[in-house]
Amino acid sequence: MKVAIVNNHKEKTLSVVKKLKLLLKETDIQLNQLQPDIVITVGGDGTLLNAFHQYYQIVDRISFVGIHTGHLGFYTDWRDYQLEELVDALVHSTPESVSYPLLELDVTDDEGKKSYLALNEATIKRMSQTLKADIHIKNEFFESFRGDGVCVATPTGSTAYSKSLGGAVLHPRLKALQLTEIASINNRIYRTLSSPIVIAPDEWITIYPESQDDYVVTLDSHELRHRRVSRLDYRIAKSQINFAKFRHTHFWSRVEDAFIAQKNNNEQF
C-alpha cells in the first residue's frame, strides 16, 4: 500500500506528521506522494480540501483519511493521539470506503469551456456592483437574479459556506446539489425565490451572467481566473470522493459537535 501525506504547517501538525512517518517506517507501507492509494491529511478540513485539489485527477482511484490537529472536522475524524490505531488499521485491514458526491463546474468564457471539480462548493460573486444573471434549471428558465452572487454546494459542503448563507445541512449520502443566494435584491422589479433549493441528481443548474468582466468565480478555497464568463453549469460529477472507512462518526453527531455542543477548548472526541 502506498500512502501520501498532505499537511498544514502548524506546529502541532508538524509533530504529528513526524510521528506518523516514524510509525509508517516500521511497516510495509510506502510513502509515495505521486501515486498513492491512500492520502492521509493532517490539519483541518481546509487541509483536506487542499489535498483533494492536489489529487483530483486520480480521485476515483484513491481514498482519503483525515487527521485533525484542531477541532473535529467534517472531513477529518481521526485525532492526533490515535496514530498507532490508524497505522495498525492500515496494516491489518483493507479499508472499506464510503463515497460522497462532488460538484462538476463547467465554465464557458471567451476561450471555450473548462471543467472543474469541487468538494464543498462553487460560487460566482461580484464585489462592488451587483451580479445580474439568469438562472436556468435543466435548460428551463427559473429566475433572474440580482445581488452579490450565488453558491452551489455539495452535500458535504452544506456545513461550510452554504450553511452561512442559510442553506440546509444535507446528509452526505444524498446525491443532491443545493443553490443558495448571496444577498439577493428583492423588490418590485427583481424577484428571486429567496430560499435555498435542492435539485435532483439528474438535474443541473446553468447561470448566464450579464456580460461583465469583474466576476469572481470560486471553487472551494480557490479563485478561478476567467475573463468574460458567458455561462456556468453545475451538476453532480461522475467522480466521487472516497474516504477510508476505518472509523465512522455518525454524521449528525459531527453536526451536533461542530455547531451545537458546548465544549471547552480541551475537547475530547
Catalytic residue numbers, as ranges: 45
Nearer to Mn ion, 36 or 44 (CB): 44
Residue 159 binding ligand NAP, by CB under 6 A: yes
Least distance to ligand NAP, CB of residue 119, Å: 7
Residue 149 binding Mn ion, by CB under 5 A: no
Residue 160 binding ligand NAP, by CB under 6 A: yes
Nearer to ligand NAP, 24 or 162 (CB): 162
What CA–CA distance (Å, rounded) separates 268 from 160?
Answer: 22
Considering only 77-85, 137-145, 152-160, 237-245, which stretch makes contact with ligand NAP by CB under 6 A? 152-160
Q: Which of 6, 49, 217, 241 binds ligand NAP (CB under 6 A)?
A: 49
E strands, 119-230, in order: 121-126, 131-137, 140-153, 177-184, 197-199, 205-209, 215-219, 222-224
Considering Cα of 178, then 197, then 77, then 241, what sign does the dihedral take? Answer: negative
Q: In the bound complex, which residue of the shown chain has the CB atom lying closest to ligand NAP?
A: 46
What CA–CA distance (Å, rounded) separates 244 from 180?
Answer: 30
C-alpha cell at 50: 487542499
Q: Which of 37, 45, 109, 148 binds ligand NAP (CB under 6 A)?
A: 45
Nearer to ligand NAP, 74 or 204 (CB): 74
Q: Which of 33, 93, 115, 164 binds ligand NAP (CB under 6 A)?
A: 164
Least distance to ligand NAP, CB of residue 160, Å: 3
Single out the residue of 134, 61, 65 nearest to residue 93, CA to CA. 65
Q: Which of 46, 95, 155, 157 binds Mn ion (CB under 5 A)?
A: 46
What 11-19 contacts at long range (C-beta under 8 Å, 24+ apart), as own/partner pairs, is 12/69, 12/80, 13/42, 13/43, 13/47, 13/69, 16/42, 16/67, 16/69, 16/80, 16/83, 17/42, 19/83
Q: Which of 36, 73, 95, 101 binds ligand NAP (CB under 6 A)?
A: 73
Nearer to Mn ion, 210 or 267 (CB): 267
Where residue 181 falls (left for φ over 0; alpha for ψ -120 to 50; beta otherwise) is beta
Residues that bind ligand NAP (CB under 6 A): 44-46, 49, 70, 73-74, 120-121, 156-157, 159-161, 164, 220-221
Residues that bind Mn ion (CB under 5 A): 44, 46
